[in-house]
Chains A and B, each alone.
Chain A
């Protein structure tokens, strides 16, 4: 897969070949060595071509989270969480891994990385970050960013993000990404030096384009609708799921009261006492089993959330297309109007409104030299315009081709991942049912001995 705008300065060595199985798995990304098939470009950075042999692989993991305090931009004390990113290279032969890099990053640095990728790879469906703040929480779950469970789930989410980027055929080659994993100090400055913030399209511009574009590629329009609906349905699903979890928690916990009352009742019974007492114990077991069950289900919710956020990434690609298309349409329109102006000047007819035309009317005709000068200027502009239009057209077509290729890749990944998520959800439900049967069967045995 080629990039739309290859920039040797940003190319680098790591280039994964295999796609991963599911988030959370430790990815093996291939690291290029100086084997045959590499070439050194003008910037002195190695890049990999598709068919080379890999001798080494790398593993990325976000292994720890730590609370830190520091001073922020306005010199105020703040508490934040830092995450330890470890990169290991793996010898294929014996599977042993050696720690090559290890550094700490906080969430805002991940955000910076992603924003950078969004600007420089607009044709790519850029993997999303885990949520900034806990949302769709059911009541027992904390909405506090410092809560250890939230931090843990975020750690997993961040690891997943890095693995997704590292396994992307285009994104993995990015130098800034490589530096993110390897260069702790000064990385922020390096990113900012790329000037990516300036290159970013303004929101206003994008919005304007969305409304005004006349002939966008139909596939992108459909994709945009799809991503809107996907976002809506997954949000709904997550909201209801949180309520379902809440209610289920209530059902299980109330059963714990049976444990207590059976125990009290057994105290006044003779023959029935033992049976009641032991049955009560099983009710307690039942009541406490829900905590683990719902904790497991949070993993499912996280998988859904990832695709909720992916919908936004899809929309971003569509927006870029609309922007480029609009740009193209505007340039073409501009060119057409200039050509017409030129023609009018040459023939002397004035069909289009121009300031010159008005002033001519008011202040008299211009001389032949003046008119010729203007024609020349216009002709130059027209030439430049035609060149620009050609290159914009080319750019646009390249973009559509590359974007659509990534979208197809994304679709397959999505189908695979969500199927896996549904299967694991079903497995969780099955396990919950089996536990329920077990507990009530045990209780039944106690009751029958009453």
Chain B
């Protein structure tokens, strides 16, 4: 068995790599990753959204630019155009072929709430950022980034042709996990996975609450904005009646106008940059929960098979091959999942730090704009008017 044969490509054709290769590769690469990005050899960017109008439909494509020194890539640089359904296809393929790993979430397929125009600049930009994040997360993953489907996604001129081929390039693990049947009852979940499960439950719950609070705040801010937009102009109306007070009143009106604009910018920013990331992580938690379930199934099957063997009361201590396979499968899964979980936790911490610092920054900027507006009219208000 080529157990110690470590191949650069973690997702090799079935049969040649050992089940443990994913995690040992992971361990090796994790050391490299600690040197912040210096050993990075793959860069992917999503940008340049374009609208395509065809007879049957209208849709948006994004340009995917790839720069890499990896041997898996024939050219050093690639530029292709992909649409949302291509990303969706990629994600499905990754889930299929790498079931022991946590696959990053995609932004929601359909617009859930509100009357948002899916061709509006704001919506497209929000989506572009999320798709960029999605690919970058895959790029950063030591196993997923070597996935064949991912490679094709980044490089193929005609992705549809490739899709039609229906090439199932499953990893050995993927192949075997695919055939795990459910219906086995899990004896006991290892503490660490139980803890992860509980954590994800509470985590998703809290994120949901934060999402609702953030939306409520935006709603209140918009209603506040509506009133401000009526409030400012009344000072203008008053100003038209007055002599000496005309300029001060007009100044106050303009000031309130500036604050209104600043508030609108705040609500737009939060809607476009804060809420989508929250939702992404809720989706992430959901998909992680499914992977955990799958892991449970793998363990359950192993335990059941093991028990069946024990009950047969054979003298031979040798464990049958298929039970061994189950054990491999389970241990592999556990290792991959554990590693991914750690990686996920660290990314999550970074992402949320960035997200919340960003939220605080947006609010600070809003108040600074308002402060500037009010401070600038104080001299105007204090001015002694020349008597006419």
A residues near B, CB below 8 A? 226, 229-230, 233-234, 236-237, 240-241, 243-244, 246-248, 250-251, 254-255, 257-258, 261, 264-265, 268, 271-272, 275, 279, 415, 418-419, 422-423, 425-427, 429-430, 433-434, 436-437, 440-441, 443-444, 447-448, 450
Q: Which residues from chain B contact A243 at a C-beta distance below 8 Å?
A: 227
| Chain A residues closer than 8 Å to B377, beta-carbon distance | 426
- Is there contact, CB below 8 Å, between B371 and A430? yes
Q: Which of A241, A248, A436, A450 contacts B367 (CB 8 A)?
A: A436
Cβ-defined contact, A237 with B252, below 8 A: no
9 CB-based A-B contacts, threshold 8 Å: A237-B238, A247-B226, A247-B227, A261-B209, A415-B244, A434-B367, A440-B364, A443-B356, A450-B349
Contacts of A440 in B (CB 8 A): 360, 363-364, 367
Q: Is B381 an interface residue (CB 8 A)?
A: yes
| Cα distance, A258 to B278, chains bound together (Å) | 14
Whether A422 touches B217, Cβ cut-off 8 Å, given contacts A240-B227, A244-B231, is no
Give the 4 A-B residue pairs with the shortest CB-CB distance, closest first. Answer: A444-B360, A247-B224, A433-B371, A436-B367
- For the residues of A in contact with B, the DSSP-based class is helix
Residue in B206, B234, B357, B381 whose beta carbon sits within 8 Å of that of A240 in the complex: B234
Given contacts A422-B249, A433-B370, A444-B364, contact A234 B238 (CB under 8 A): yes
Residues in B with CB closer than 8 Å to A427 are 378
Q: How far is the CA of A427 from the CA of B371 in the complex (A)?
A: 10
Contact string against A for B residues 193-217, beta-carbon threshold 8 Å, 1 for contact and 0 otherwise? 0000001001100100110010011
Contacts of B220 in A (CB 8 A): 247, 250-251, 254
**Cβ–Cβ contact A268 & B202, under 8 A:** yes
Q: Which residues of B contact A272 (CB under 8 A)?
A: 349, 352-353
CA distance A237 to B235 in the complex (A): 8
Shortest C-beta distance, B192 to chain A (Å), equals: 14
Given the known interface contacts A240-B231, A415-B245, the answer about A441 and B364 at a Cβ–Cβ threshold of 8 Å is yes
Contact A258 B210 (CB under 8 A): yes
Contact in complex: B356, A447 (CB < 8 Å) = yes
Residues of B contacting A423 with CB < 8 Å? 378, 381-382
| Chain B residues with CB under 8 A of A418 | 245, 248
Report the separation of the CA atoms of residues A355 and B224 in the bound assembly, to the nearest whole angstrom.
Answer: 72
B221 at the interface (CB under 8 A from A): yes
The verdict on B121 contacting chain A, using a C-beta distance below 8 Å, is: no
Whether B234 pairs with A437 at a CB distance below 8 angstroms is no
Q: Is the CB of A250 within 8 A of B223?
A: yes
> In the bound complex, how far is the Cα of B209 from the Cα of A264, in angstroms?
11
Chain B interface mostly helix, strand, loop or mixed? helix
Complex contact B237–A244 (CB within 8 A) = no
Residue in B closest to A286 when the chains form the complex, CB atoms: B363
B268 neighbours in A (Cβ, 8 Å):
none
**A244-B224, A271-B349 known; A251 vs B217 contact (CB < 8 Å):** yes
Q: A236–B203 Cα gap in the complex (Å)?
A: 48
Tell me if B203 and A268 are in contact (CB < 8 A).
Answer: yes
The answer, among B227, B237, B252, B361, for a CB contact under 8 Å with A422, is B252
B32 at the interface (CB under 8 A from A): no
Say yes or no: B238 contacts A233, CB within 8 Å. yes
- B213, A444: Cβ atoms under 8 Å? no
Residue-by-residue, is B350-388 near A (CB-CB < 8 Å gives 1, otherwise 0)?
A: 001100110111011011101100110110011000000
Looking at A241, A441, A450, which has the most chain B CB atoms within 10 Å of its CB?
Answer: A450
Extra 7 A-B pairs, beta carbons < 8 Å, given A423-B381, A436-B367: A237-B234, A250-B223, A430-B378, A436-B366, A440-B367, A448-B353, A450-B352
Asked if B228 lies at the interface with its beta carbon under 8 angstroms from chain A, I say yes
Residue B241, interface by CB 8 Å? yes
Q: Taking A233-B238, A436-B363, A437-B367 as contacts, is the C-beta distance between A250 and B224 under 8 angstroms?
A: yes
With both beta carbons as reference points, the residue of chain A lying nearest to B255 in the complex is identified as A426
Q: Which of B217, B221, B230, B356 has the most CB of A within 10 A?
A: B356
Contact of B364 with A450 in the complex, beta carbons under 8 Å: no
Take A247-B220, A247-B223, A422-B248 as given contacts and tell me if A241 and B231 are in contact as well, using a CB distance cutoff of 8 Å: yes
In contact, A447 and B203 (Cβ under 8 angstroms): no
In the complex, the answer to whether B367 meets A233 with C-beta atoms within 8 Å is no
CA–CA, A230 and B245, complex, Å: 12
Q: How far is the CB of A28 from chain B (nearest CB, A)?
A: 25
Residues of A close to B356: CB separation below 8 A: 279, 443, 447, 450
Minimum CB–CB distance for A45 against chain B, Å? 39
Closest A residue to B238 by CB, please name it.
A233
A248, A415, A430: the one within 8 Å of B375 (CB): A430
A89 to B216, CA, bound (A): 57
Please report the C-alpha to C-alpha distance between residue A411 and residue B199 in the assembled complex, in whole angstroms.
Answer: 69
How far, in Å, is A429 (CB) from chain B's closest CB? 5
List of A residues within 8 angstroms of B244 by Cβ: 415
In the assembled complex, the Cα of A450 lies from the Cα of B220 at a distance in Å of 28
Assuming A241-B231, A430-B375, A447-B360, is B217 touching A254 (CB within 8 A)?
yes
Distance to closest chain A CB from B262 (angstroms)? 10
Q: Could you tell me the distance in whole angstroms from the C-beta of B386 to the nearest C-beta in chain A? A: 13
**A426 B371 Cβ-Cβ under 8 A:** no
The answer to whether A258 and B231 have CB atoms under 8 Å apart is: no
Given A226-B241, A264-B206: A419 and B381 interface contact (C-beta under 8 Å): yes
Shortest C-beta distance, A228 to chain B (Å), equals 10
In this complex, what residue of A is CB-closest to B357? Answer: A447
Shortest Cβ distance from B233 into A: residue:
A240
Contacts of B378 in A (CB 8 A): 423, 426-427, 430
Q: Which residue of A lies closest to B222 (CB)?
A: A247
Residues of B near A448 (CB, < 8 A) are 353, 357
B381 in complex: contacting residue of A264, A271, A422, A444, CB < 8 Å: A422
Q: A256's closest neighbor in chain B, by CB?
A: B213
Option from B224, B249, B352, B361 in Cβ contact (under 8 Å) with A251: B224
Q: Which residues of A contact B353 (CB under 8 A)?
A: 272, 275, 447-448, 450
Complex CA distance for A299 and B14, rounded to whole angstroms: 79
Q: Flag B126-138 by CB within 8 Å of A: 1 or 0 each.
A: 0000000000000
Q: Are B234 and A236 in contact (CB under 8 A)?
A: yes
Q: Once the chains are docked, how many angstroms separate the CA of A415 from the CA of B247?
A: 12
| Chain B residue at smallest Cβ distance from A246 | B227
Query: Given that A237-B234, A241-B231 are known contacts, is A248 also in contact with B371, CB under 8 Å in the complex?
Result: no
Q: Most chain-B Cβ atoms within 10 A of its Cβ — which of A247, A248, A426, A436? A: A426
Docked pose: A272 CA to B235 CA in angstroms: 47
| Chain B residues, Cβ within 8 Å of A240 | 227, 230-231, 234
Distance of A222 from chain B, by nearest CB (Å): 11
A7 to B224, CA, bound (A): 56
| Contact of B367 with A261 in the complex, beta carbons under 8 Å | no
In this complex, what residue of A is CB-closest to B252? A422
Q: Which of A230, A244, A254 contacts B227 (CB 8 A)?
A: A244
Closest to A426 in B: B374
Nearest neighbor of B378 in chain A, beta-carbon distance: A426
Q: Which residue of B lies closest to A229 (CB)?
A: B241
Give every chain A residue within 8 A of B349 (Cβ-Cβ). Answer: 271-272, 450
Chain A residues with CB under 8 Å of B210's CB are 258, 261, 265
Given that A254-B220, A433-B371 are known contacts, is A426 also in contact with B241, CB under 8 Å in the complex? no
